[in-house]
Amino acid sequence: MSYLDNIRTFVRVYELGSMSAAGRDLRISPAVTSARISQLEDYLGVRLFQRTTRNLTATEQGQVFYSGAVTVLDAVDQAEAKVMHLTDAPRGTLFVAAPLGLGRRLVAPAVPEFLASYPEINLRLRLSDRAVDLTTEGLDLAFFLGQPEDSTLRIRKIADCRRVLVAAPEYIARCGMPKDGAALIREGHNCLNLRYPGASEFQWRLQTPEGPQRFAVSGRYECDDGDVLTDWALAGEGIALKPVFEVAPHLEAGRLVPVATATPPVPVQMACLYTHRRHQDPKTRLFMDFMTERMARAMRQTETGAEDPGA
> What's the pLDDT score for residue 311?
38
- CA 299 to chain CA centroid, nearest Å: 17
Greater confidence (133 vs 113) lies with 113
Residue 302 has pLDDT above 90, yes or no: no
> What's the pLDDT score for residue 290?
93
Residue 183 has pLDDT above 90, yes or no: yes
pLDDT average, residue stretch 4-33: 87
Residue 309 has pLDDT above 60, yes or no: no
pLDDT average, residue stretch 43-66: 88
> What's the pLDDT score for residue 197?
61
Greater confidence (79 vs 122) lies with 122
| % of the chain surpassing 90 pLDDT | 49
pLDDT average, residue stretch 64-79: 82
Residue 80 has pLDDT above 80, yes or no: no
Dump pLDDT digits (tens) for 26-35. Answer: 888 888 999 9
- For residues 270 and 160, is the Cβ–Cβ distance under 8 A? yes
Comparing C-alpha atoms, which of 305, 168, 166 is closest to residue 249?
A: 305
- For residues 272 and 143, is the Cβ–Cβ distance under 8 A? yes
Q: Which amino acid is at 151?
A: S
Residue 284 has pLDDT above 60, yes or no: yes
Distance CA 247, CA 240 (A): 10
Distance CA 238, CA 33 (A): 48
Residue 299 has pLDDT above 90, yes or no: no
Dump pLDDT digits (tens) for 192-226. Answer: 998 766 555 568 999 999 999 999 998 999 998 88
Dump pLDDT digits (tens) for 239-260. Answer: 999 999 999 999 999 999 999 9
pLDDT average, residue stretch 142-169: 85
Q: Which helix (H) or strand (E) holds 213?
A: strand 211-215
Q: Could you give the dihedral angle defined by the CA atoms of residues 215, 218, 224 and 230, in that order, rounded to the nearest 10 degrees?
A: -90
- For residues 299 and 161, is the Cβ–Cβ distance under 8 A? yes
Residue 310 has pLDDT above 50, yes or no: no
> What's the pLDDT score for residue 75?
77
Determine the Cα angle at 50 with ends 12 and 68, to 5°. Answer: 45
Dump pLDDT digits (tens) for 266-277. Answer: 998 899 988 766
- For residues 231 and 278, is the Cβ–Cβ distance under 8 A? no
- Determine the 3-state secondary structure of 269 from DSSP: strand
Q: Which amino acid is at 174?
A: R
Dump pLDDT digits (tens) for 286-298. Answer: 999 999 998 888 8
DSSP 104: I
Distance CA 7, CA 155 (A): 29
Beta bridge partners of residue 143, listed in sequence order: 272
